[in-house]
Structure 1
Amino acid sequence: MERNYTEEERYNLAKKRVQEVKGFYGNLTAYIVVNIFLVVVNLMTSPEHLWFYWPMLGWGIGVLFHGLRVFNRMPFLGKDWEERKLKEFMEEEERRKNQFKQ
């Protein structure tokens, strides 16, 4: 189901893509800055009890999945999956419609 996009549609898709990449880099930058701050606070206040890695791990998993989605590397539920599922639902609906016509 190949679609021919107009110049405006291609521009809007590219603009949306740039916003997604920009959002990821913003998230990554915040992750790095905040986690450096947390490491410093942890080491200055209670170096005998290290806790900074817990928020780093949790947020890091989120950043990882954000990056996978933005750069189309999602092994599951990615763009290809969406298109296949959409086509499958459209074909199913067409079969259902034709079944009732008979």
Structure 2
Amino acid sequence: MTVKEFLSFRKKDGFLNKVTIWKSCQEDGDTYQQIAEFNPEFYEVISKEVLDLEVENFDIDIDYGSDGGVVLLVFVNQENSTKKIQELFNR
């Protein structure tokens, strides 16, 4: 399932304040780097390269900090990467 498909499905839940997209760091498989953060209502304006990534896993985080709210953490892989997606992962 792509990030776009996943977010269109999750958007119906209607309780998310923020979505973050994380990629696995190649040197350490247990470490992730954030590559995108956005309001779930506006996910359609996110880069096509990010929206086309395959979802590997996800988690829900309750943010008790200054912003508060529910954050959807989406973990992606680069198995299906095109050249543009590969450039995104190499940043």
Name the TM-score, length of structure 1 as normaliser: 0.22
- Report which structure shows greater RCO (CA 8 Å, sep ≥6): 2
Which structure carries more strand by proportion? 2
Which structure carries more helix by proportion? 1
Name the TM-score, length of structure 2 as normaliser: 0.24
Give 1 or 2 for the bigger CA radius of gyration.
1
